Structure 1
């Protein structure tokens, strides 16, 4: 999907002169917000932004001020994995 937005040229030029391309920064804000709202997961964040690893995805979310969606069931799963790992 391609989305077009209208911004006055003089403002768009100033915005585009800051760090990173304007379109990439807008995409990052949209994706961070979608993750924060629970509409997408970390794998989808990684896929959309073409990040090289899960750790890079977590670092991106941290930079954007978005906490990981980590619930009790995920904690239980991680604890079970840890127990299995320790028993080997």
Structure 2
């Protein structure tokens, strides 16, 4: 789908000078808002913005001030993984 919007030329030129491609910037803004409200997943963000990795998406969202979901269950799982790697000798003791 294509959507057209009308902007006064002076505003469009000013924003384009500041932001670069208005089409890209508007796409990013819509994708960010859709992600924030839970309408799309991280994978869909990656697809829509043409990013190659999840890390690239995480960096992008962080730079835009979007908190990444990280629950207590995620923390517990990470702690268990860390402890297991340490027991296996794959992580140095700090």
Normalising by structure 1, what TM-score? 0.79
For the pair shown, which has the larger CA radius of gyration, 1 or 2?
A: 2
**Quick one: structure 1 residues 3 and 77, their matched pair in 2 at CA, closer, same or farther if it must change by over 3 Å?**
farther
Partner of 2:67: 67
Greater relative CO, 1 or 2 (CA 8 Å, sep 6+): 1
1:8-38 per-residue CA deviation (whole Å, 9 max, x = no partner) reads 1111111111133111011111111111111
Structure 1: gaps (5+ residues): none
Partner of 1:4: 4
**Quick one: structure 1 residues 70 and 3, their matched pair in 2 at CA, closer, same or farther if it must change by over 3 Å?**
farther
Partner of 2:18: 18
RMSD over aligned CA atoms reads 2.3
Normalising by structure 2, what TM-score? 0.75
TM-superposed deviation, 1:78: 4.5
